[in-house]
Chain A
Amino acid sequence: MNLVFALLFYAATLILVGGVAYRIYEYARVPAPLKIPTTPAPTTTGGVVFRMFREVLFFESLFKSNLWIWALGWLFHVGLALVLLRHVRYFTEPVNFIIAFIQPFGMYAGFAMAAGLAGLWARRFLVERIRYISTPSDHLMLALLLGIAFTGLAMKFLMHTDVVAVKTFFLGLMVFEIHPLPAHPGLYLHLGMVALLMIVFPLSKLLHAPGVFFSPTRNQVDNPRETRHLAPWAAQLDSKN
């Protein structure tokens, strides 16, 4: 089992990092031939950075469009972010003091995350419009994340596992050594689902995370009067004229 999980995590990390890097490369390489910011849009680069900051940290547009989705989605993502930060302690020794500081918040964040996910999932059943657009994969994604959250919380509050051994296992992986993982069904489930999440990340709608930074309607400066914006393929058309 130790070897299986070791290999699984090596593979998952490769796919996640390689896959997302490749997607980012693609998004960056494909040009945006026209100026299409959704106006009113910032007229300076600084303004665009600020707009993006508000979108990524506070989901500003979503706030304007639907308070329910915003509240549930924000709860989930902030919970997720804190939980992820809390997990950094499994990969570093000594533990950074910021990571140590957020440990207690991270614990509640797990509940926040689960609550947010449950609310979002409920919408997929209860709201007719959202039921209509949901595909099986939308449900599975939420099930997967909720599964991760539940098994994680269960290990914290119901059936403890040897977290010191878990930490030894992951620190070991980072220097290509395989240490024993506690034989704990909850842990196996938790880690298995995390690896699955990492694998599907670059193949699924989770690409919204890198995608948001590349959305031309949000990341373009509204300055078509000042500078000529020309994509390489469009410049070639020009020379034919």
Chain B
Amino acid sequence: MADETTPVAVAPAPTSSPAVAKSAAPAKPKVEAPAYREFPTIPALQPDAMTGSNPFVAAAAHNEAIGFPGALLDGWEQKAVAKMGELLGKYRSLRVYMDACVHCGACTDKCHYFIGTGDPKNMPVARQDLMRSVYRRYYTLPGKLFPKLVGARDMTKDVLDDWFRYYNQCSECRRCSVFCPYGIDTAEVTMAAKEIMHTVGHGHKYVNEIIGKVHKIGNNLGLPGPALENTLEGLEEDVLEDTGAAVKYPLDMQGAEVLLVTPSADFFAEPHVDSLIGYGKVFHAAGISWTLSSKASEAGNFGMFIGNYEQMQKIAMRVREAALELGVKRIVVGECGHAWRVAYAFWNTLTGIGAGAGVGKPDPFAIQLQKQLDPNYKQPSHICEVTWDLIQAGRLKFDKAANDHRIVTFHDSCNVARGSRMGDYAGGQFDIPRNIIRAVANHYVDMSEATTREKTFCCGGGGGLLTDELLDLRVKGALPRMEALKQVADQHGVNFMATICAICKAQFTKVLPYYGFKMSMVGGVHQLVSTAIVLNNEQ
């Protein structure tokens, strides 16, 4: 079972760091953590090292529930090529990137999955070439005339199998795009490949199942409203007991000032829930009324992972509907990497949430929402922006010593780092979370500069890969991050890695033990806030 779907799966993993773990699913290949490298040298190629990685193909029901054909269509080859042509006409990124790569090789050693596996098809340019070879065959003159010369290939079942395998070994983290002289973003290619595969009926089970749940139940975990209500009540009791303060965790509260949209893992999984507790304490301490929504009880948007604009838009629309129904003045997004990318960079485009709803065909709902929202906060805010603003305004008090048992470092989540922003200047997404940590804890150390900020390494579980059948890949892909963590753990005694992404948290809890760390070492920024915040205890 996948982490995101069963909260329990976030928990136990061997604590003693054996190289080989017992497999949970029957037909699963062994999971091996690569050895730490003494110096982070570039690995030698190990061709086909990861051909054994077999993501589960979605069942008919999962495909059909979200509008794709149930199984691989007859004549899928032509249909796939035709779909590629359609996407080439819709996405400038794909159109330009298929032509522009000069095979310079600058990106070859930049992907965490290549570093962890040595499989040459995990080099970003080689991953792109899986599609580029087909593009050249059908859409360029040299590829039609001299396929061998330019490395062009027909669209065959073998090619499709390679696509399914290796496009499901890309977390769409965009690290390669930082280093490419033309900014070629392999994530764009991966998304296009996934969309093509979906269109011909070859979807990935994990992601499709989750998208189905969002539409049917409202969140990725499939938690129905009453279960949410129970959990939140439980949280209120816990916090009251711990702190003596009557912090509220409201659901569907009409007329609240803030709608908080957060990844559903925050409701159940460890350590996610500690951050949710933290958000509530921040709002409580600042006297801001807020609510969660049962309709939009999920910030995550897996539509992005499969590159499907319509799905992404449909999932984003729930948030607009919830905001309108509840009459809120401001929309705030919790700790979730790709969700923040979608909210920050795409919501305005997809749903008109954000200033400028008037562009395009005037949409009455978008305009109504613009009128309803506080003119200072027409755009969604990140919870870190909210907290940092309050700290600067002197509206929150902290007992920093409460975090003294922790020596903290920060993992930049790639979707926040390379796909979005916080605050009003480029790079605010790096400073604001660190500022918050420094405001609530006394001991903070950054990891190696080659692995932070825009150069951050993905946790290894993003992009819709957070599923058990890909555990071996996830463990290997975490290698560069684990090495950087090991360095600060050895040199500075770091014992807590804060992050602001639900997937990062779930992924790290699972893989840390393979590298000899405790799984409780990872947690949210608002978990630290929660520990240190001083609440006024009147009821």
B345 at the interface (CB under 8 A from A): yes
B34 at the interface (CB under 8 A from A): no
Q: Are A39 and B92 in contact (CB under 8 A)?
A: no
Task: With A226-B355, A235-B361 as known contacts, state yes or no: A38 contacts B418, CB within 8 Å.
Answer: yes
Task: Name A35's closest neighbour in chain B (CB-CB).
Answer: B345
Q: Are B108 and A133 in contact (CB under 8 A)?
A: yes
**Minimal beta-carbon separation of A55 from chain B (angstroms):** 7
Q: For residue B266, which residues in chain A have a CB less than 8 angstroms away from its CB?
A: none
Task: Name B314's closest neighbour in chain A (CB-CB).
Answer: A241
Q: Are A211 and B105 in contact (CB under 8 A)?
A: no
Q: Are B151 and A227 in contact (CB under 8 A)?
A: no
Task: With A36-B93, A224-B349 as known contacts, state yes or no: A133 contacts B126, CB within 8 Å.
Answer: yes
Task: Name B354's closest neighbour in chain A (CB-CB).
Answer: A225
Q: For residue A140, which residues in chain B have a CB less than 8 angstroms away from its CB?
A: 149
Task: With A65-B107, A217-B93, A239-B361 as known contacts, state yes or no: A137 contacts B149, CB within 8 Å.
Answer: yes
Residues 201-224 of A at the B interface (beta carbon under 8 Å)? 203-205, 207-208, 211-212, 214-218, 222, 224
A98 at the interface (CB under 8 A from B): no
Q: Are A43 and B425 in contact (CB under 8 A)?
A: yes
**Minimal beta-carbon separation of A217 from chain B (angstroms):** 4
Q: Are B44 and A128 in contact (CB under 8 A)?
A: yes
Residues 427-444 of B at the A interface (beta carbon under 8 Å)? 427, 429-430
**Minimal beta-carbon separation of B123 from chain A (angstroms):** 6
Q: Are B151 and A40 in contact (CB under 8 A)?
A: no
Q: How far is the CA of A185 from the CA of B309 in the complex (A)?
A: 57
Residues 395-430 of B at the A interface (beta carbon under 8 Å)? 417-421, 425-427, 429-430
B313 at the interface (CB under 8 A from A): yes
Q: Are B421 and A241 in contact (CB under 8 A)?
A: no
Q: How far is the CA of A50 from the CA of B238 in the complex (A)?
A: 53
B454 at the interface (CB under 8 A from A): yes
Residues 127-173 of B at the A interface (beta carbon under 8 Å)? 129, 140-142, 148-151
List 5 interface pairs A-B (beta carbons < 8 Å), by A numbering. A26-B95, A30-B89, A30-B90, A62-B104, A215-B184
Q: For residue A235, which residues in chain B have a CB less than 8 angstroms away from its CB?
A: 360-361
**Which of B45, B89, B429 is close to A128, meaning CB atoms less than 8 Å apart?**
B45
Q: Are A61 and B183 in contact (CB under 8 A)?
A: yes
Residues 172-229 of A at the B interface (beta carbon under 8 Å)? 200, 203-205, 207-208, 211-212, 214-218, 222, 224-229
Q: How far is the CA of A211 from the CA of B102 in the complex (A)?
A: 11
Known: A30-B92, A39-B419, A39-B421. 9 other contacts (CB 8 A): A33-B91, A61-B179, A133-B105, A205-B99, A215-B93, A215-B100, A224-B348, A224-B349, A225-B348
Q: Are B454 and A38 in contact (CB under 8 A)?
A: yes
Q: Are A234 and B356 in contact (CB under 8 A)?
A: no
Task: With A30-B89, A228-B349 as known contacts, state yes or no: A43 contacts B178, CB within 8 Å.
Answer: no
Q: How far is the CA of A24 from the CA of B180 in the complex (A)?
A: 21
Task: With A31-B90, A34-B346, A224-B349 as known contacts, state yes or no: A238 contacts B361, CB within 8 Å.
Answer: yes
Q: Are B354 and A135 in contact (CB under 8 A)?
A: no
**Which of B96, B181, B182 is close to A27, meaning CB atoms less than 8 Å apart?**
B96
**Minimal beta-carbon separation of A239 from chain B (angstroms):** 5
Q: How far is the CA of A48 from the CA of B102 in the complex (A)?
A: 23
**Which of B95, B106, B142, B151 is close to A204, meaning CB atoms less than 8 Å apart?**
B142
B residues within 8 Å of A by Cβ? 42, 44-45, 88-93, 95-97, 99-110, 120, 123, 125-126, 129, 140-142, 148-151, 174, 177-185, 188, 309-310, 313, 317, 344-346, 348-349, 352, 354-361, 363, 379, 417-421, 425-427, 429-430, 454
Q: Are B313 and A133 in contact (CB under 8 A)?
A: no
**Which of A40, A61, A212 is close to B100, meaning CB atoms less than 8 Å apart?**
A212
Task: Name B346's closest neighbour in chain A (CB-CB).
Answer: A34
Q: Are B100 and A205 in contact (CB under 8 A)?
A: yes
Q: For residue A226, which residues in chain B have a CB less than 8 angstroms away from its CB?
A: 355-356
Q: Are B344 and A66 in contact (CB under 8 A)?
A: no
Q: Are A205 and B103 in contact (CB under 8 A)?
A: yes
Most chain A CB within a 10 A radius of its CB, from B104, B140, B310: B104
Q: For residue A39, which residues in chain B have a CB less than 8 angstroms away from its CB?
A: 417-421, 426, 429, 454
Q: For residue B96, which residues in chain A have a CB less than 8 angstroms away from its CB?
A: 27, 211, 214-216
Q: How far is the CA of A120 from the CA of B104 in the complex (A)?
A: 8
Q: Are A40 and B429 in contact (CB under 8 A)?
A: yes
A152 at the interface (CB under 8 A from B): no
* Binary per-residue interface labels of chain A (126-170) against chain B in the complex, 1 for a CB within 8 Å, 0 otherwise: 011110111111101000000000000000000000000000000
Q: Are A227 and B356 in contact (CB under 8 A)?
A: yes
Most chain B CB within a 10 A radius of its CB, from A47, A215, A218, A228: A228
A42 at the interface (CB under 8 A from B): yes
A111 at the interface (CB under 8 A from B): no
